[in-house]
Amino acid sequence: MTIEVRVPQLPESVADATLVAWRKRPGEAVARDENLVDLETDKVVLEVPAPAAGLLKEIKLLDGATVTSGQILALIEESASAGAAAVSPTAATPTAVATATAAQAAAPAAAAAKLSPAAKRVAEENKVDPQTVVGSGRDGRVSKSDLVNYLQAKDAPAKAPLSPAPPLAPSARGARQEQRVPMTRLRARIAERMVQAQATQALLTSFNEVDLHAVNELRARYKEPFEKQHGVKLGYMSFFAKACVEALKKFPSVNASVDGNDIVYHEYFDLGIAVSTDRGLIVPVLRGADQLSFAEIEKSVANYASRARAGTITIEELTGGTFTITNGGVFGSLLSTPIVNAPQSAILGMHKIQDRAVVIAGQVVVRPMMYVALTYDHRLIDGREAVQFLVTVKQCLEDPARMVLGV
């Protein structure tokens, strides 16, 4: 019995997806619920599981194709077992032989399609099958340097690796290489939203600095019992999330958005927490952050981050949000001006914690300091509100008891 593999129902906000890569080839055995192909949307990578066990009979669309909900991707021969893939040539049916031949022919073609123009030229000139080369690029992509290294290793004498590599010829020293690859859907979407935000909003950034001495003392004092009781480390993000919620309550315009000529005041606090992945920056949303405990925030952030990097986060978890926090400090950034995640009206940027000399009560002391930045839409938020918002965040972090007492 032949089973159709179709594109799953995409969310209403997603019109189509791009077929990124097949995980199986025609003629290979597949297990039920095994991932067959990855589809990339503007926000996440979706896995398409096999609806039944059997053999992958036919692939309808190749890598790079644009697909929509319900479109047929492949056919599975349900009655075939995993052992059928090893049928001897004498016992194989014409259909099986044709399928296997097509699979063998499609493999080099699929690999060649992923090559850059420079790499493809090297492969064609030297008659190299890309399938035989181990790629060092993303998703195993074979680059020109991979092919050159492969050819050198192939042509070198058996003892050549023990000898120093010969110096490059003058022409090789001056060689300049480049690769041209299309943007992923996520990267293209990020670019579109960033340009849109700067083109449609009146963006301005205000700065302040926070003394994290009190937060560090709390983390050091309760680090072990907190992790033992809740099974998660007590990080900085829960403190900043709580501080932002307190500030948003005092300044509702920072938690609002502009819709045409209307201002939409959100009476809930859904915080977006920016997460960096290999595919780009995505922003999972903490729903009802004002109702979450420190432990729940830390668990949610850790869960979102791991699933975002694994590509298993859902589109629903990335939609919405009334305010965003981004932390460039994990990469060493000392100061930056983050761009608002439209249609939101503001974003808080965290930065690197650095020991600096500050004056407290007339004495010069060394304290762990962090610059914080608030980029906001000046159409909706005045400078006074932006500055006072940052001051509130600063006060909450420098005196964490405020967040417990609500003062």
Q: What does pLDDT average to in each consecutive run of 10 residues of the chain (407 residues)?
A: 85 77 86 85 79 87 84 81 39 41 46 59 74 68 70 54 52 71 77 84 95 95 93 94 96 94 94 86 92 94 87 84 94 93 94 95 95 96 96 95 73
Q: Does domain 185-405 have CATH number 2.60.40.1180?
A: no
Q: Which residue has the tokens 């020109």?
A: 144
Domain range summary for the chain, segments of one domain joined by +: 2-113, 185-405
- Catalytic one of 33, 129, 139, 378: 378
Residue 240, pLDDT score? 96
Residue 161, pLDDT score? 43
Residue 243, pLDDT score? 96
**Cα end-to-end span (Å), the chain:** 68
Q: Does domain 2-113 have CATH number 2.40.50.100?
A: yes
What's the number of CA atoms in the CB half-sphere (13 Å) around residue 303?
Answer: 12
Residue 168, pLDDT score? 55
Residue 220, pLDDT score? 93
Q: Which of 362, 334, 363, 361 is nearest to 349 (CA)?
A: 334
- Catalytic one of 42, 355, 382, 399: 382
User: What is the CA 371 to chain-centroid distance, rounded?
Assistant: 25
Residue 79, pLDDT score? 64
Residue 159, pLDDT score? 39
Residue 254, pLDDT score? 96
Q: Specify whether 382 is catalytic.
A: yes
Two domains, one topology: 2-113 and 185-405: no
